[in-house]
Amino acid sequence: MHVIKKPSWGIKENYVTDESLATNRRKFLNSLATITVGSAINGSLLGNAVWANQNLQNFNSAFKNNKLSIDAKITPEKLSSKYNNFFEFGSTKNIWKEAQNLSTEEWAVNISGLVEKPFKIDTDSLISKFSLEERIYRHRCVEAWSMVVPWTGFELSKLVAYAQPLSSAKYLEFKTFFSPKEATEQRARWYPWPYTEGLTIEEATNELAFLVVGAYGKTLHKQFGAPIRLHLPWKYGFKSIKSIVEINFTSVRPVSFWETLADNEYGFWANVNPEVPHPRWSQKIERVLGGNSRNTEIYNGYGPQVAGLYNKFQNLGNSLFR
Ligand code: MTE
């Protein structure tokens, strides 16, 4: 992600699509491959190794939702789990080590605002309430790269129904944790922490909006946004907020983290559209992680499911797509 007026802390313009960076990362990955596989099976093999994610839970029995999955080559986990945006832990793609500092035990999500009765629920209870399914989604970052991931989770619409929103609730506002002790970048006061995102209630109840608790058949790695994140496959990736601690039902349109930083670049809607360039680069083509380039599709290929959500907003023009 980039902001237009780049202060000294800004990310370099060419960072995201720089293939040599990816190549160097791959070499690094190869040297770590054995460790990674080993740790997934048994964290104790590694002693204090940073990768260790001791609570990997097997989600392989989750229902495979083929109807809502795409038929595309899945991005190898060793690539997707080492190329992440999680600005709480740094502004490079290589934050997976730092992300291990996040303590995800006793995690709970606050359901607040315009609902019958606000409540707090821990992730285990959430997982046990809604049956889990696996969906293979394409994830398209605004930075023009993409990957394909088998996520495990449940439809956000189920949680919305469970929360019993009042009729005055028009939007959902999501918030990530704020823990500067664990997430060093949260000590940077120029960012509007905590990371915040928002959706209309119609978007939140679309069948594609997915609350994710696992990937590749097991509990989410911390760098993926453990223990619970959102995935909205028709929108640019920054809408898919990680490590959620609060979902607030509100009548006021939320202003997101990136919108606060650069609203002309990262808007509220952020629907994928190859015809609407980012102010500083084209969105026509994306680099597929571990593969070649492909032509970007409107709504990231999910038009049949979501285009109808925007019929009444056609007057918004390009702002629906940034
Ligand atoms: N959520 C939080 N809390 N912090 C972040 O920095 N980055 C966003 C999104 N969710 C981000 C976040 C962006 S820009 C993208 S592209 C995706 O997470 C990246 O998800 P991935 O690392 O699983 O690919």
pLDDT tens digits along 260-285 = 999 999 999 999 999 999 999 999 99
Rounded to the nearest whole angstrom, what is the distance from the C-alpha of residue 87 to the centroid of ligand 1?
8
Rounded to the nearest whole angstrom, what is the distance from the C-alpha of residue 239 to the centroid of ligand 1?
8
Residue ranges lining ligand 1, Cβ < 6 Å: 1, 84-88, 139, 141, 176, 195, 224-225, 237-238, 240-243
pLDDT at residue 252, rounded to an integer: 98
Nearest CA to ligand 1 atom 19: 85
Rounded to the nearest whole angstrom, what is the distance from the C-alpha of residue 65 to the centroid of ligand 1?
24
Q: Are 147 and 77 in contact (CB under 8 A)?
A: no
Q: Supply the mean pLDDT for the chain.
A: 86
Question: Atom of ligand 1 at shortest distance to CA of 230?
Answer: 10
Query: Angle CA(26)–CA(27)–CA(28) in degrees, nearest 5?
Result: 90
Q: At 262, list the tokens.
A: 């650069």
Q: Given CA atoms 307, 225, 44, 30 in this order, what sign does their dihedral have?
A: positive
Nearest CA to ligand 1 atom 9: 238
Neighbouring C-alpha atoms within 13 Å toward the C-beta of 110: 11
Report whether pLDDT(109) > 60: yes
- Over residues 213-230, the mean pLDDT reads 97
Rounded to the nearest whole angstrom, what is the distance from the C-alpha of residue 44 to the centroid of ligand 1?
29
Question: Atom of ligand 1 at shortest distance to CA of 176?
Answer: 3
Rounded to the nearest whole angstrom, what is the distance from the C-alpha of residue 105 to the centroid of ligand 1?
21
pLDDT tens digits along 230-266 = 999 999 999 999 999 999 999 999 999 999 999 999 9
Choose one of 95, 197, 211, 238 to mutate for the ligand 1 pocket test, by most ligand atoms within 8 angstroms of C-beta.
Answer: 238
Rounded to the nearest whole angstrom, what is the distance from the C-alpha of residue 116 to the centroid of ligand 1?
31
pLDDT tens digits along 297-313 = 999 999 999 999 999 99
Q: At 122, list the tokens.
A: 């821990």
Report whether pLDDT(79) > 50: yes
Rounded to the nearest whole angstrom, what is the distance from the C-alpha of residue 167 to the centroid of ligand 1?
31
Question: Atom of ligand 1 at shortest distance to CA of 237?
Answer: 16
Burial class (CB in 10 A: 0-12, 13-18, 19+), 259: buried
pLDDT tens digits along 94-103 = 999 999 999 9
pLDDT at residue 60, rounded to an integer: 85
Between 320 and 50, whose confidence is greater?
A: 320
Nearest CA to ligand 1 atom 8: 238
Choose one of 85, 98, 230, 272 to mutate for the ligand 1 pocket test, by most ligand atoms within 8 angstroms of C-beta.
Answer: 85
Distances (CA, A) of 15 to 1, 144, 241: 9, 11, 21
Residue 108 pairs in a beta bridge with: 122
Query: Angle CA(231)–CA(94)–CA(223) in degrees, nearest 5?
Result: 35
d(CA 314, CA 321): 11
Rounded to the nearest whole angstrom, what is the distance from the C-alpha of residue 34 to the centroid of ligand 1?
26
Q: Are 114 and 249 in contact (CB under 8 A)?
A: yes
Question: Atom of ligand 1 at shortest distance to CA of 224?
Answer: 23
d(CA 55, CA 57): 6
Q: Are 2 and 11 in contact (CB under 8 A)?
A: yes
pLDDT at residue 41, rounded to an integer: 28
Report whether pLDDT(155) > 60: yes
Rounded to the nearest whole angstrom, what is the distance from the C-alpha of residue 101 to the centroid of ligand 1?
17
